[in-house]
């Protein structure tokens, strides 16, 4: 009986030890799982923060590029306007002042149009009429 009571005690102690080990392993794995979950959340938060910072830097660089492009476009427009102004000034001086230049622009506008008949203003700014041309081509009514 002594052998059987010793073996019952051994089995009970082994079972109790197994239960304690099982409970400790369960608690340890829960703690490890929570630690991993916290680490994963930290890493995920850092990744989101890094992505937001990167997006902000990209937006800032795009805005700087747009600003630089706008400055260059404005400089190009100013240079073009200065060139046009100089060219207009040269043409105006060679054509005898503003009046000659305006007449030149008027003739340029006429050449751009596809018109069959163009009236050119005279010294007073009035067009030359074609009354004499129409009278020559009309049949004589009084004979």
User: Which of 123, 114, 113, 91 has its CA nearest to residue 104?
Assistant: 91
Q: Are 92 and 101 spatial neighbours (Cβ–Cβ below 8 Å)?
A: yes
Alpha carbon distance 4, 6 (integer Å): 5
The predicted-structure confidence for 119-139, as pLDDT tens digits, reads as follows 666 666 666 665 555 555 555
Domain boundaries, the chain: 8-84, 95-136
The predicted-structure confidence for 28-81, as pLDDT tens digits, reads as follows 888 888 888 888 888 988 999 999 999 999 999 999 999 999 999 999 999 999
What angle in degrees, to the nearest 10, is found between the helix axes of 2-94 and 98-112?
120
pTM of the complete model beyond 0.85: no
């Amino acid at each position: 009986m002594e052998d059987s009571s010793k073996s019952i005690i051994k089995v009970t102690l082994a079972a109790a030890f197994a239960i304690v080990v099982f409970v400790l392993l369960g608690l340890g794995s829960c703690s490890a799982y929570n630690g991993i979950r916290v680490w994963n959340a930290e890493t995920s938060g850092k990744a989101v923060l890094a992505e937001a910072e990167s997006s902000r830097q990209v937006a800032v660089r795009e805005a700087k590029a747009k600003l630089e492009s706008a400055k260059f476009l404005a400089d190009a427009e100013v240079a073009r306007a200065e060139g046009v102004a100089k060219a207009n000034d040269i043409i105006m001086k060679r054509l005898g002042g503003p009046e000659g230049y305006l007449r030149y622009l008027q003739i340029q506008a006429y050449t751009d149009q596809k018109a069959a008949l163009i009236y050119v203003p005279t010294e007073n700014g009035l067009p030359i009429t074609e009354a004499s041309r129409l009278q020559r081509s009309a049949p004589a009514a009084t004979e």
